[in-house]
Amino acid sequence: MNAAFGFLALVLHLGLMLAAAPILIGAIRKLKARLLARTGPPIIQPWRDLAKLAQKQPVLAENASWLFSAAPAAAFAATLAAAALVPSFALGMTTAPASDLLVIGGLLALARVILALAGMDVGTAFGGIGSSREMMYASFAEPALVLVIFTLALLAGGTNLDAIAGLLVGGSQGLRVSLALALLAILALALVENGRIPIDNPATHLELTMVHEAMVLEYSGRHLALIEAAAALKLLVWLGLIAAIFAPFGIAPAGAPPVAWLIGLGAWVGKIAVLGVALSAFETSIAKMRVFRVPEFLGIAILFAMLAVVFLFVSQGFA
Amino acid sequence: MGHLAYDAAHLFGGAVLALSFVLLYQRRLTAVINAYALQALVLAIAAAWQGWAQGAPHLFLTAAITLGVKAIAIPLGMHSFVRRLGMNRAVESALGVFPSMALGVGLVALSIMVVLPVTAQSHMLTREDLALALSVVLMGMLMMISRRTALTQVIGFMSMENGLILAAVSVEGMPLVVELSVAVLVLLAFAVFGVFFFRIRDQFDSLHLDHLDRVDGGPR
Amino acid sequence: MTALFLPAMAALVSALLALAVASAVAADANRAHLAAMGSLGICGLGVILSTGFLLTGGQADGLTIGVGLPGMPLHLVLDGLSGAFLVLLMLAGVAASAAALDDHGAYRATAPFFPAFIAGMALTLLAGDGFALLLGFEVMSIASFALVLTDHRTPEVRSAALLYIGVATVGAVCLVAALGLLSFGGDFSFAVIRAHPPEGWRATAIMVLTLIGAGSKAGLVPLHVWLPPAHAAAPGHVSALMSGAMTKIALYVLIRLMFDLCGPGQPIWWGAPLVILGAVGAVLGGLRANMEADIKTVLASSTVEHIGLIAVGLGVALAARSADLTGLAALAFGGALLHAMAHALFKSLLFLAAGATQHAAGTRRLDRLGGLIARMPKTTVMVLIGAAGLSALPPTGGFAGEWSLMQAVIAAPRIGGLGWQILMCVAAAMMALAAALAASAAVRLIGVAWLGRPRSPRAAGATDPGRPMLAALAGLAGLSIAVGLFPGAVLGLLAPAIGFATGAGPGAHAGAFMIAAQTDQPGYAAPAIAVVLGLAGAAVFFAIRRWTVAGERRAPAWDCGFGAPPAWLPFGDPATQYGGASFAQPLRRALGTSLMAAREKVDMPDPGDLRPASLTVTLADPSAAYLFAPSGRLRDRLAEYADRMQLLTIRSTLAVMFIALLVFLIAIAGLQHL
Amino acid sequence: MIAGLVALVPLLAAVVLGFVRDRAIGAWIVIAASTAAFGLACALPWQMGAGTLLLVDPLSVHMAILTSFVGMTTAWFSRRYIEIEMITGRLDGLRARQYHVLFQAFLGFMLLALLSNNLGLTWGAMEAATIAAVLVVGLPRTDLAISAAWKMFVLCGVGIALALFGTIVLYLAAQPSLGPGLPAMSWSALAVAAPGFKAPLLNLAFVFLLIGYGTKAALAPLHAWMPDAHAEGPTPVSAVLSGSILNVALAVLLRVRGLMASNPDAISPGIPLMALGLLSLLLAAFALWRRYDVKRFFAFSSVEQSGLAAFAFGIGGPAAMFAGMLHVTLHTLIKAAIFQCVGRASQLKGGQKFADIGGLIASHRALGLTLAAGIVAVAGMPPFGLFSSEFLIMLATIRSWPWLALPVGLGLVVGGWAMFNRLISLCLGAATPNRGPAPALIDLVPAWLHLALAVVLGMAMPAGLVAWFSLVAEGLR
């Protein structure tokens, strides 16, 4: 029975994620436009874009290889796999035993590497510049991520996201300095990983940004649709991850009846909304930073995460 | 053997050592050669005396060889060599007179220090003559390294050999002394021959040694 | 039945040596083929034997033979630990031999050293006493030195080989000293040593010497400097074996000495040097892999990185075992072994592919390659599989290994006090940094060399290698995938080794489908992740088929409106692509300037000047700059002093002799009067 | 009486050679005499015993066999070598004859020094061997050769003089126990009576013998003559010099060491030997890095290895003695092989500078490979025996003087690295132009024989030989 519920929850979860990801993007754009006193496109505009792109034939560069064509789908698949591991409204999905934080990080890295390779495939300068910067950011992001995971593992005695969320939802850990520091670190990480301002600007293809959007400059048609969808999904995964770890309340525990899922869903929507609003407000109030300031930015994130771990050691409060 | 025998033996030994100091002190080539001849002469007498005192007739042979070759033939040859080549008569020394004398005294002291723990024995001379001979050897070597001209260096070498022979003859019952002294002589002859043959005017090093030492000193 | 494994393995070693001799006296034309074919067969048998040995439980077995030191027998021992590494060695050996069959006449001169190299490594693994260990180690060194010199007419190859053998000499001398300190009453058979583990300063000295001795060969910081140039200089199949197997053999020696022979009674801090050196090496290697301009040097630098990661695992295992945390020790050790196994496979694959690429495209330089994906399609697929492992992406073996290692580090804070805990935290950050750097290096390597457009006519004319090489690549790729999908099974196979080194029972952390940090907890379910990925991929595939319009159009690259290339450049102007140096620029600016003393010199002509602009980048490995270069200078200075003795005049030489005499005389005078 | 013949055959041959004008016959006489000497020496193990003049004990027999073996293979090697030297005009008929005479005399005197049971005879034979060696070194009559010979003569002459003083003092020490006369100068009698000698005299004798024979053994800082003599003399002599003269001097030092060690009051002989050995090892290892002349280079390597052996002998104890003896034996064999190859190589390339010789493998594969194998062997790498002996020496060091393993290790590393440095420059890379005749394969057979022996002795020594080496080491207590 539990297994059936788990599977059902997984299917619903995936559907929710796929459906909500473009909506989230649309909502953030709308909100940002409003904050800048513009009207902005409708919230479902991203969905429309995707549908339109899906109906366009892609234009490939003459020397593009099979890797170039396959990359969007592969990257999307990897992101989707990660999405399947991050719980939204309910714990105890079928994938719960496999939802290891390191694995989630690995899957996201897989998607990133695939796109970075694709950026190099045609042999244009834009693709290269985007790929190289993306990989540099990742190099600094990874240690921070691992240290955040380190903190959580020390608190929860393992790196399984489902278990961590299940443990933290009980509130037994109380409020911890470590958790606060880790939250700061992971927020910074989320900005970097999703190419948000102040790191990158998702709204433009201009040379100014030259990271993620430069990397995928050569894509068009259904390929671009997949990439856009993957980016949206990735943002949602990150926000969901933050929500599941740092604000697990409301989530339906493993084995709970589907009624609890509704509460979980409500809580999840609320949490994502708060995070989305915060993101919009942050993005409108800050300017993009120079490329080589980003390592410093991430360095601070690493520092916060490391402090989080050290505070745990000092307080001897780990399993 | 009586007391006199010991005393005389010590006396001759002491004379050889004293001549070593003289050798070290000399500033002129001919004087160095003469002092060496004198040292060889005293050594020959010492050897003969030992031959008489120990009743070892073969030591007379040693004495004769020493007298004939070292005290007469070699010095004569050297004199003629010096004359013929018109060698610089003054001896260049790497060490001043006073430091070399002081070092010489130090070497004698060292010899005595080294030999002192040898307990006085029934046999004659062990301590004293050994210390004397050791001093002569060390001072011969000091002369070799403190003098710059080849001839004086060879004389230092020969003076060192004098110390060896002194040690050999004064050890009672030492077999093969004659053979050894002949072997030593071959060495000396070779050295002298080398100096003559190679026309080494100034010092050993003047051959091509500077050159030789530099051959390996850089890539070609 | 089980008693037959050791004699059979010993026979294989003898067969390899005999093969070396046979191929040395064989006719020139047949030599390389004979050596490769023979090694292939023998290593194949070796794989079967060693796997069989592990599967039947890996009971230790001993043997003595009458060669070696005068009057002393040579002990051979086969136990779980050596069995595990034998599997690794023989697998790498099979692949390298198969690749060597794809000979182009270049391997002929040094072909006899190839089987000797494998024999040396196998002997090291089978050694049951200090002499046998060192004998195997040195045969391995000298044979690989000769193999590195295959292309000895190139000056860089010669200098690389010289650096290599010099560091190898340092290592050998340190190992002799370590074994000497270990030996008990002049007996250095492992059984006797094990019964009398060292203590106190002796044990510490042994640890330091082992770290230098084995670590230098493994590519542990700071003695890793030889590794990138030497691996780059050797022919492809040799670098595959050096990187895939030889570095692991060195780690085996380290494990044998520090885990086995020094006994479990050593202090906890023993793990710290390994962790520190490993973590530093991982970051440095990963960073350097992003800077180097030669595909094999990139791969070799990445070997430094992976060896560093494995060393961190070994350090944690050592400390955990000292703290009696057997489970944690087994986790860390298993992670290290798993990663070693995975690395052996994917790095062999990559080096073989690099060798094939060098042959096909005539160069190893990143800025002369490009666009190989269209010209060497089969090789490129294998390279992608290998590079995925190198970047530690799920679901590859590399990820499984690093996952275990990271789990071990995360669990390690309970071993020691605050200092150790902070070390673990820093180590975790550095491992993550290293992994991300490796991924970046992999993207750079593949993106520049295999993707994009060809940068030279030779690269444009490259083709896939011959059948033996492709078979070797495919075999390694298949095994890499298998290790990635079933890390639990691999850990099960390696259980005798893990049990031997840590005292843990079999299967504590591994089921067939899942490896876990703790017995009753969920862990990394590689097959499940693969299934999820596969389902996601299939779903995307069908979604595309169902909801999007099919087909595509070809057009010149958009490149943000960059002008089309002139007609005489059919692939576009290759220089407008992102090259190796340009891809490295962000990391070079961010980390390279401080860690690798990277300096950029831009020569930008004034407007109107027709000179081409140029960018010159210089790098210096900190170990080369702060350890090797000063040592070299010190050596030359001392050589100069020693040489002055020879430049003295005869008189001065006599004076030296005189002084020596006086010193001795004064000494005895002093002694007698005191 | 075979012992006497062993030394006498080469000496007689030397006399005979003085009257033989035909070069071909002369060369064959040399080969016959040295082969006969080796054959006779091989019979010595069954002739053990001490006579008034000759002593046949394991040490002397071992060294005699080794020396005569190297003498024999060098004689084989010399035949063609001298022929080529005469063709290229570096030697003329008279000098070739002188060479053969002196070479045999040198060999004979060294064997005599080894087998003599008398301090005086040992000393005299050493002196004669030295003079013969000096003459041989000066034989090419170039300025450099004469200078080198002169340097060798002066230093070795002073050394031999100091050794004589030591001999006299040793006699003086022995005289009270053994009475005046020949017994007090006999090695075998001394060895028995040494525990009762007066320690101060023994100490004094030891210092002089150490400095005296140490000069001949080329222990630093007394080694200065040796590289020059090697570099400038004819190559076959280098092969013999490098091995045997060092060995003979070491053998004498070993006997003295035995006397000292058995006397409870005397200073320990080990420490001075270790000090000089270590100094030689380190000095030579570093000096190897600044060499431009092939033969000087390998001469320094001989200093290094001789120092290591002296160090091992200094440690004492059966294991170290065994290791030291093995080391000396193997080094002699390997170094002779190397010098044979170097001789051929310098004839082939018309020079003996590193700048002249390069890429040997490319220009003459067999020669290049043999030389490379020799260098690998002397660098202490398997499968060659020095690997085993250095392993044993390191082990013995660590057992007795753990901290000394540091400098010894440093010396081995620096020296070994230098060897490989030159292996690469000599044998690999592009070939330098040939300026002389290439050797035939048969000319390399002696070198192969040596290297094969070095492999067998180090890696798979037959039980009989193990027992023999143990016997030799046992005798050195």
Q: How many CB atoms lie within 10 A of CB B40?
A: 26
Decide: C and A in contact? Rule: 3+ Cβ pairs under 8 Å: yes
CB D26 within 8 A of CB D20: yes
Write down the residue that tokens 């992001």 correspond to. Answer: A141
Mark yes or no for CB contact C654/B142 under 8 Å: no
Q: What is the pLDDT of residues A241-292, one digit of tens each?
A: 999 999 888 898 888 888 899 999 999 999 999 999 999 999 999 888 888 8
Higher pLDDT: B8 or A204? It is B8
Q: What is the pLDDT of residues C324-337, one digit of tens each?
A: 999 899 999 999 99
Residues 6+ apart with CB under 8 A from B68: none
Please determine, for residue D373, whether its predicted confidence score (pLDDT) is greater than 60.
yes
Can you give the pLDDT at residue B209? 45
Domain ranges of chain C: 267-539, 622-673
Confidence of residue B212 (pLDDT cuts 50, 70, 90): very low
Confidence of residue A42 (pLDDT cuts 50, 70, 90): very high
Could you tell me the two tokens for D125? 């034979």
**What is the mean predicted confidence (pLDDT) over D313-336?**
93
Containing C664, the helix (H) or strand (E) segment is helix C650-673
For residue D221, is the peptide bond before it cis, meaning its omega torsion is within 30 degrees of 0? yes
| Helix extents (H) in C376-517 | 377-390, 397-411, 418-449, 457-460, 467-485, 487-502
Nearest CA in chain A to C369: A123
Can you give the pLDDT at residue B213? 45
Please determine, for residue C56, whether its predicted confidence score (pLDDT) is greater than 70.
yes
Q: Which of D326, D404, D413, D455 to mutate to test the interface with C (most CBs of C within 10 A)?
A: D413
Confidence of residue C391 (pLDDT cuts 50, 70, 90): very high
Q: How many CB atoms lie within 10 A of CB B85?
A: 12
In whole angstroms, give the CA distance from residue D462 to residue D465: 5
Cα of first residue to Cα of last residue in chain D, in angstroms, is 27
Judging contacts by C-beta atoms under 8 Å, the chain A residues touching residue C370 are: 123
Judging contacts by C-beta atoms under 8 Å, the chain D residues touching residue B210 are: none
**What is the mean predicted confidence (pLDDT) over D395-399?**
93
Compare CB distances from D292 to B173, B183, B216 and report the shortest one's residue. B216
In whole angstroms, give the CA distance from residue D378 to residue D373: 9
Please determine, for residue C522, whether its predicted confidence score (pLDDT) is greater than 90.
no
Q: How many CB atoms lie within 10 A of CB D9?
A: 25
Judging contacts by C-beta atoms under 8 Å, the chain C residues touching residue D228 are: 646
Please determine, for residue C674, whether its predicted confidence score (pLDDT) is greater than 80.
no
Can you give the pLDDT at residue D184? 85
In whole angstroms, give the CA distance from residue C318 to residue C412: 11
Given 3-state DSSP classes, what are the helix, strand and coil percentages for chain D, each rounded to the nearest 5? 80, 0, 15
Q: How many CB atoms lie within 10 A of CB D195?
A: 14
Higher pLDDT: A318 or D316? It is D316
Angle in degrees, CA B17, B23, B25, rounded to 5: 110
For residue C222, is the peptide bond before it cis, meaning its omega torsion is within 30 degrees of 0? yes
Chains in contact with chain A (at least 3 beta-carbon pairs closer than 8 A): C
CB C641 within 8 A of CB B207: no
In whole angstroms, give the CA distance from residue A64 to residue C243: 33
Burial of B122 (0-12, 13-18, 19+ CB in 10 A): exposed
- B93 DSSP 8-state letter: B
Can you give the pLDDT at residue B205? 47
CB D214 within 8 A of CB D253: yes
Interface predicted TM-score (ipTM): 0.93
Three-class DSSP category at C112:
coil
Greatest CA separation for chain D: 68
Range of the domain at B120: 3-215
In whole angstroms, give the CA distance from residue C572 to residue C570: 6
Judging contacts by C-beta atoms under 8 Å, the chain D residues touching residue C638 are: 286
Compare CB distances from D120 to B179, B198, B219 and report the shortest one's residue. B179
Could you tell me the two tokens for C99? 């690749």
Mark yes or no for CB contact A113/C439 under 8 Å: yes
- C558 DSSP 8-state letter: -
Q: What is the pLDDT of residues C496-514, one digit of tens each?
A: 999 999 887 755 566 777 8
Please determine, for residue B201, whether its predicted confidence score (pLDDT) is greater than 60.
no
Nearest CA in chain C to A133: C586
Q: What is the pLDDT of residues D22-42, one digit of tens each?
A: 888 888 999 999 999 999 999
> Which of C264, C153, C168, C152 shows the shortest CA–CA distance to C212?
C168
Can you give the pLDDT at residue C1? 57
Can you give the pLDDT at residue D199? 86
Q: How many CB atoms lie within 10 A of CB D468?
A: 18
Confidence of residue B129 (pLDDT cuts 50, 70, 90): confident
Helices and strands, counts by H and E, chain C: 27, 5
Containing C553, the helix (H) or strand (E) segment is strand C553-555
Which of A144-153, A204-213, C44-53 shows the lowest per-residue confidence on average (mean pLDDT)? A204-213
Which of A227-236, A260-269, B140-149, C363-372 shows the lowest per-residue confidence on average (mean pLDDT)? B140-149
Q: Give domain status of residue B86, yes or no.
A: yes
Residues 6+ apart with CB under 8 A from C562: A124, A125, C576
Three-class DSSP category at C601:
strand
In whole angstroms, give the CA distance from residue C439 to residue A109: 9
Could you tell me the two tokens for B29? 């080539």
Please determine, for residue C630, whether its predicted confidence score (pLDDT) is greater than 60.
yes
Interface of D with C in 431-470 (CB under 8 A): 457-461, 463, 465-466, 469-470
Average pLDDT, chain A: 90
Containing C76, the helix (H) or strand (E) segment is strand C74-78
Cα dihedral A248, A253, A259, A261 in deg (nearest 10)? 50
> Which of C288, C338, C282 shows the shortest CA–CA distance to C85?
C338
Could you tell me the two tokens for C671? 């002694």
Higher pLDDT: C236 or B172? It is C236
Please determine, for residue C463, whether its predicted confidence score (pLDDT) is greater than 80.
yes
Can you give the pLDDT at residue A106? 96
Three-class DSSP category at D388:
helix
Decide: D and B in contact? Rule: 3+ Cβ pairs under 8 Å: yes
In whole angstroms, give the CA distance from residue B71 to residue D52: 35
Buried b (16+ CB within 10 A) or exposed e, B87-116: beeebebebeeeebeebbeebbebbbbbbe
Residues 6+ apart with CB under 8 A from B7: none
Q: Which residues does residue C127 pair with via DSSP β-bridges, in sequence order?
A: C76
Interface of B with D in 12-71 (CB under 8 A): none
Write down the residue that tokens 């050293």 correspond to. Answer: C113
Can you give the pLDDT at residue A175? 63
Can you give the pLDDT at residue D94? 85
Can you give the pLDDT at residue B151? 79
Could you tell me the two tokens for C287? 């960073």
pLDDT-above-70 percentage for chain C: 98
In whole angstroms, give the CA distance from residue C299 to residue C304: 9
Interface of D with C in 318-377 (CB under 8 A): 319, 322, 326, 361, 376
Nearest CA in chain B to D145: B212
In whole angstroms, give the CA distance from residue C305 to residue C290: 11
In whole angstroms, give the CA distance from residue C166 to residue C217: 11
Can you give the pLDDT at residue C361? 92
Residues 6+ apart with CB under 8 A from A195: A201, A202, A211, A212, A213, A231
Write down the residue that tokens 């969901």 correspond to. Answer: A240
Q: Give domain status of residue B115, yes or no.
A: yes
Confidence of residue C559 (pLDDT cuts 50, 70, 90): confident
Q: Give domain status of residue B8, yes or no.
A: yes
In whole angstroms, give the CA distance from residue C540 to residue A54: 13
CA R_g for chain A: 19
In whole angstroms, give the CA distance from residue A314 to residue A304: 15
**What is the mean predicted confidence (pLDDT) over B38-56?**
89
Can you give the pLDDT at residue C571? 62
Number of independent structural domains in chain B: 1
In whole angstroms, give the CA distance from residue D61 to residue D124: 19
Q: How many CB atoms lie within 10 A of CB D24?
A: 10
Can you give the pLDDT at residue B220? 35
Mark yes or no for CB contact B173/D180 under 8 Å: yes
**What is the mean predicted confidence (pLDDT) over C541-564?**
85
Can you give the pLDDT at residue B122? 44
Nearest CA in chain D to B219: D292
Can you give the pLDDT at residue C427? 97
**What is the mean predicted confidence (pLDDT) over C337-355?**
96
**What is the mean predicted confidence (pLDDT) over D49-70?**
91
Buried b (16+ CB within 10 A) or exposed e, C628-639: beeeeeebeebb
Q: What is the pLDDT of residues D87-134, one digit of tens each?
A: 888 788 888 888 899 999 999 999 999 999 999 899 999 999 998 998
Write down the residue that tokens 């008929």 correspond to. Answer: D93
Å from B170 to nearest chain C CA? 22
> Which of C354, C430, C359, C427 shows the shortest CA–CA distance to C387?
C354
Judging contacts by C-beta atoms under 8 Å, the chain A residues touching residue C388 are: 110, 113
Confidence of residue C573 (pLDDT cuts 50, 70, 90): confident
Mark yes or no for CB contact D466/C70 under 8 Å: yes
Judging contacts by C-beta atoms under 8 Å, the chain B residues touching residue C649 are: 203-205, 209-210, 213
**What is the mean predicted confidence (pLDDT) over C438-456?**
94
pLDDT-above-90 percentage for chain D: 62
Å from B112 to nearest chain C CA? 9
Residues 6+ apart with CB under 8 A from B64: B44
Q: What is the pLDDT of residues C110-141, one digit of tens each?
A: 999 999 999 999 999 999 999 999 999 999 99
How many pairs of residues across B and D have Cβ atoms under 8 Å apart?
134
Å from C665 to nearest chain B CA? 7
Q: What is the pLDDT of residues D230-248, one digit of tens each?
A: 888 888 888 887 778 889 9
Single pTM value for the model: 0.94
Interface of B with D in 147-176 (CB under 8 A): 157, 160-161, 163-164, 167-168, 171-176
Please determine, for residue C572, whether its predicted confidence score (pLDDT) is greater than 70.
no
Confidence of residue B210 (pLDDT cuts 50, 70, 90): very low
Q: Which of B115, B205, B215, B216 to mutate to test the interface with C (most CBs of C within 10 A)?
A: B205
Can you give the pLDDT at residue A318? 60
**What is the mean predicted confidence (pLDDT) over C56-62?**
89
Can you give the pLDDT at residue A258? 85
Q: At what angle do helices D270-287 and D405-427 cross, to 10 degrees?
A: 30
Can you give the pLDDT at residue B215? 45
Given 3-state DSSP classes, what are the helix, strand and coil percentages for chain C, each rounded to the nearest 5? 70, 5, 25
Confidence of residue B5 (pLDDT cuts 50, 70, 90): confident
Given 3-state DSSP classes, what are the helix, strand and coil percentages for chain A, each rounded to the nearest 5? 70, 0, 25
- Residue A295 contacts C, CB cutoff 8 Å: yes
> Which of D396, D154, D404, D418 shows the shortest CA–CA distance to D279?
D404
Compare CB distances from C181 to D402, D459, D461 and report the shortest one's residue. D402
Please determine, for residue B216, whether its predicted confidence score (pLDDT) is greater than 50.
no
